[in-house]
Amino acid sequence: MDETTLDAIIARYEAPSGRLLGILGEIQDQEGYIPRETLAMLAEKLDVRLSQLYSLTTFYSYFSLTPVGDHVITVCMGTACHVKGAPGILQALEGMLGIKSDTSEDGKFSITTEDKKFTLEIARCFGACSMAPVLRIDGNLYGYATKEDLPTILAEYGWEP
C-alpha cells in the first residue's frame, strides 16, 4: 500500500475511539491482508510501537498477516450452520481445492491454494442463520449451500475440477 493511500485512510479516523481497529480494518479490506511494511509505516505515523500493532493484528480474527488468493471463500461455522452441515461443506471444499486444514500455530484458519487462486477461511457467524449453511465468496453470500451446489458456485470464480 502506498503512503498516500495510507494517509487517506488515517485521515478518515480523527477521533480516538475506534481509530486503530478502523484503520486496520480498511487496510485489511483493501489489501486482503495487512502487509508488513504497511504495519511498520502505520506504527511510525501514529507513534505507537510495532509490538502493539502486531498484538492487535494477531489477536483479532478479521486481520490476516499473509496475502490471500484471488478469491476468498469463507464458510460460516456458526451454530445454525453447524447443525445444518457446515463441517461437510468445509470438508468438500478442502477436497475440491486440494488443501488440507490443519490447526495453524496462530489459531487463524486461512489456507491458500498453491496456484494462489483461492483462499479458504472460516467465519463465526454472518448473521444469515436462517439460510444455513452459508458460504461467502468475495463478499457475495450464498445461502442454503449444499455440497452439490459447490462446483457450480465455484465455477463462477474460475474454479476447474
Footprint of other proteins on this chain (CB under 8 A)? Answer: 15-22, 24-25, 36, 49-56, 58-63, 76-84, 105-107, 123-132, 134, 139, 141-144
The arrangement of strands across the sheet holding 71-76 comes to: 110-112, 118-123, 71-76, 135-137, 140-142
- Please report how close the Cβ of residue 160 comes to other proteins at its closest, in angstroms: 25
Cα–Cα distance list, 48 to 43, 62, 133 (Å): 5, 21, 41
CB of 26 to other proteins, least distance (A): 9
Which of 107, 91, 87 lies closest to 99, judged by CA? 91
Query: Cα 89–85–160 angle (5° rounding)?
Result: 15
C-beta closer to other proteins: residue 79 or 91: 79
When the beta carbons of 4 and 51 are compared against other proteins, the nearer one is: 51
- Nearer Cβ to other proteins (127/161): 127
User: What minimum distance in Å lies between the beta carbon of 4 and other proteins?
Assistant: 23
